[in-house]
Amino acid sequence: MLGVATAFDAPQSGLGLLGTGAATLLLVLALAAARPAAVPFALLLLGAVYALPAGHHVIAVPIYGSVLLVCGELAYWSLDERIRERADAGVELPRLVAIVAVGVAAIPVSALVLAAADTDVARSPAGTAVGAAAIVACVALLVALAHLRGGVRAQQRAVSDRFVSPTVSPTQQN
Amino acid sequence: MTRSASPRLPAYAALAAFGLVAALGAGRPALAALATPFALLVVVALAGAPVALDGGLRLERERVLEGEPVGATATVINTGAAARVELYLPTTPRLQSEPVATAFWLAAGARREVHFKLEVDRWGVHGAGPALVRSRDRLGAFALEGDLGKACELRAYPKFDRLRRLVAPLRTRPVLGSQVARERGEGIEFADLRPLVAGDRVRRINWRATSRRRVPYVNVQHPEQSTDVVLFLDTFAQAEHAEQGTLDAAVVAAAALASAYLARRDRVALVSFGGVVSWLTPSAGAAQLYRIVDALLTSEIRRGHKWKNVVHLPRRLLPARALVLALTPLLDARGIDALLDLRARGYDLAVVEISPLLHTPAQDGDEAYRLPLRLWALQRDALRARFEALGVPVASWQHPHTSLELAVEEVITFRRHARPAPHA
Question: Residue B423 gets which letter from DSSP?
Answer: P
Question: Residue B27 gets which letter from DSSP?
Answer: T
Cβ neighbours of residue A110 under 8 Å, at least 6 residues apart? Answer: A61, A62, A65, A66, B33, B34, B36, B37
Check the CA dihedral B8-B10-B11-B16 and report its sign: positive
Q: How confident is the model at residue B318 (pLDDT cuts 50, 70, 90)?
A: confident
For the cut 60, the answer to whether the pLDDT of residue B334 exceeds it is yes
Quote the CA–CA distance of B254 and B407 in Å, as a whole number: 13
Read off the pLDDT of each residue in A24-48 and give the average, rounded to a whole number. Answer: 87
- Identify the helix (H) or strand (E) that includes residue B189: strand B189-195
**Nearest CA to B221 among B252, B187, B245, B253?**
B187
Give A142 or B250, the one with higher predicted confidence: B250
Please classify residue A95 by burial: count the beta carbons closer than 10 Å to its beta carbon, then call 0-12 exposed, 13-18 middle and 19+ buried.
buried
The angle subtended at Cα B240 by Cα B352 and Cα B235, nearest 5°, is 50
Cβ neighbours of residue B242 under 8 Å, at least 6 residues apart? Answer: none
What is the chain A residue with the closest CA to B133? Answer: A163
Q: How confident is the model at residue B254 (pLDDT cuts 50, 70, 90)?
A: very high
Contacts of A142 in chain B (CB under 8 A): 10, 13-14, 17
Q: How confident is the model at residue B193 (pLDDT cuts 50, 70, 90)?
A: very high
Which strands sit side by side in the sheet containing B228-235, from one edge to the other?
B278-283, B267-274, B228-235, B323-328, B348-354, B394-397
Please classify residue A22 by burial: count the beta carbons closer than 10 Å to its beta carbon, then call 0-12 exposed, 13-18 middle and 19+ buried.
middle
Smallest CA–CA distance, residue B240 to chain A, in Å, is: 13
For the cut 70, the answer to whether the pLDDT of residue B424 exceeds it is no
Residue B173 has a pLDDT of 86
For the cut 80, the answer to whether the pLDDT of residue A127 exceeds it is no
Q: Which CATH number fits domain B53-157: 3.30.70.890, 1.20.120.1750, 2.60.40.10, 2.40.50.140?
A: 2.60.40.10
**Nearest CA to B158 among B58, B59, B250, B231?**
B250
Read off the pLDDT of each residue in B149-164 and give the average, rounded to a whole number. Answer: 86
Contacts of A91 in chain B (CB under 8 A): 84, 103-105
Read off the pLDDT of each residue in B54-68 and give the average, rounded to a whole number. Answer: 88
Residue A165 has a pLDDT of 45
Best B3, B4, B123 member to test A by mutation, with max A CBs in 10 Å, is B4
Residue B17 has a pLDDT of 85
What is the chain B residue with the closest CA to A66? Answer: B37
Residue B303 has a pLDDT of 61
Residue A174 has a pLDDT of 32
Residue B231 has a pLDDT of 94
Read off the pLDDT of each residue in B236-248 and give the average, rounded to a whole number. Answer: 70
Quote the CA–CA distance of A128 and A133 in Å, as a whole number: 9
pLDDT above 70 coverage of chain A, percent = 63
For the cut 50, the answer to whether the pLDDT of residue A30 exceeds it is yes
Average per-residue pLDDT in chain B? 85
Give A12 or B380, the one with higher predicted confidence: B380
CATH class, domain B225-417, is alpha beta
Question: In this predicted model, what pLDDT tens digit does every residue of B342-354 receive, in sequence order?
Answer: 898 888 999 999 8
Read off the pLDDT of each residue in A38-56 and give the average, rounded to a whole number. Answer: 82
Quote the CA–CA distance of B289 and B280 in Å, as a whole number: 11
Read off the pLDDT of each residue in A139-162 and give the average, rounded to a whole number. Answer: 57
Question: In this predicted model, what pLDDT tens digit does every residue of B264-291 receive, in sequence order?
Answer: 999 999 998 887 788 898 999 989 998 9
Q: Are B284 and B229 in contact (CB under 8 A)?
A: no
Average per-residue pLDDT in chain A? 74
Give B50 or B245, the one with higher predicted confidence: B50
| Total-model pTM | 0.69
Does the distance separating the beta carbons of B40 and A173 come in below 8 Å?
no
A-B CB pairs within 8 A amount to 218
- Cβ atoms within 10 Å of A26's Cβ, excluding its own: 20
**Nearest CA to A155 among B50, B51, B143?**
B143
- Identify the helix (H) or strand (E) that includes residue A27: helix A13-33
Residue B238 has a pLDDT of 67
Does the distance separating the beta carbons of A134 and B20 come in below 8 Å?
yes
* Beta pairing class for B63-65 and B217-222: unpaired
Smallest CA–CA distance, residue B239 to chain A, in Å, is: 15
For the cut 70, the answer to whether the pLDDT of residue B422 exceeds it is no
CA B388 to chain centroid? 31
Contacts of A109 in chain B (CB under 8 A): 36-37, 40
Residue A34 has a pLDDT of 83
Cβ neighbours of residue B57 under 8 Å, at least 6 residues apart? Answer: B72, B73, B74, B75, B89, B128, B129, B130, B131, B148, B149, B150, B151, B152
Quote the CA–CA distance of A144 and B329 in Å, as a whole number: 62
Residue B382 has a pLDDT of 93
Does the distance separating the beta carbons of B3 and A174 come in below 8 Å?
no
Q: Taking the CA of residue B343 as centre, how many other CA atoms within 13 Å lie in the half-sphere pointing to its CB? A: 21
Cα-based distances in Å from B421 to A39, B340, B387: 87, 16, 15
Does the distance separating the beta carbons of A36 and B7 come in below 8 Å?
yes
Does the distance separating the beta carbons of A37 and B37 come in below 8 Å?
no
Residue A169 has a pLDDT of 35
Residue A54 has a pLDDT of 65
Residue B197 has a pLDDT of 92
Q: How many helices (H) and strands (E) does chain A have?
A: 7, 1
For the cut 50, the answer to whether the pLDDT of residue B166 exceeds it is yes
How do the domains of chain B map onto residue ranges?
2-47, 53-157, 184-222, 225-417
Check the CA dihedral B368-B369-B372-B377 and report its sign: negative
Q: Which residues pair with B114 in a beta bridge?
A: B74
Q: How many helices (H) and strands (E) does chain B have?
A: 8, 24
pLDDT above 70 coverage of chain B, percent = 91
Q: What is the DSSP code string of B43-54?
A: HHHHHSPPP-EE
How do the domains of chain A map onto residue ranges?
1-80+92-120, 123-160
Q: How confident is the model at residue A153 (pLDDT cuts 50, 70, 90)?
A: very low
Beta strands per DSSP E along B277-393: 278-283, 323-328, 348-354
Q: Per mean pLDDT, which range of A20-24, B4-8, B296-300, B406-410 is the poorest?
A: B296-300
**Nearest CA to B236 among B297, B325, B300, B324?**
B300
- Three-state DSSP class for B91? coil
**Nearest CA to B131 among B73, B70, B68?**
B73
For the cut 70, the answer to whether the pLDDT of residue B309 exceeds it is no
Question: In this predicted model, what pLDDT tens digit does every residue of B126-145 receive, in sequence order?
Answer: 888 788 899 998 888 888 88
Give one word for B253, left, alpha or beta, with left for phi > 0 and alpha for psi -120 to 50: alpha
Does the distance separating the beta carbons of B4 and A148 come in below 8 Å?
yes
Q: Which residue type sits at B60?
A: E
Does the distance separating the beta carbons of B41 and A106 come in below 8 Å?
yes
**Nearest CA to A117 among B25, B37, B29?**
B29
Please classify residue A24 by burial: count the beta carbons closer than 10 Å to its beta carbon, then call 0-12 exposed, 13-18 middle and 19+ buried.
middle
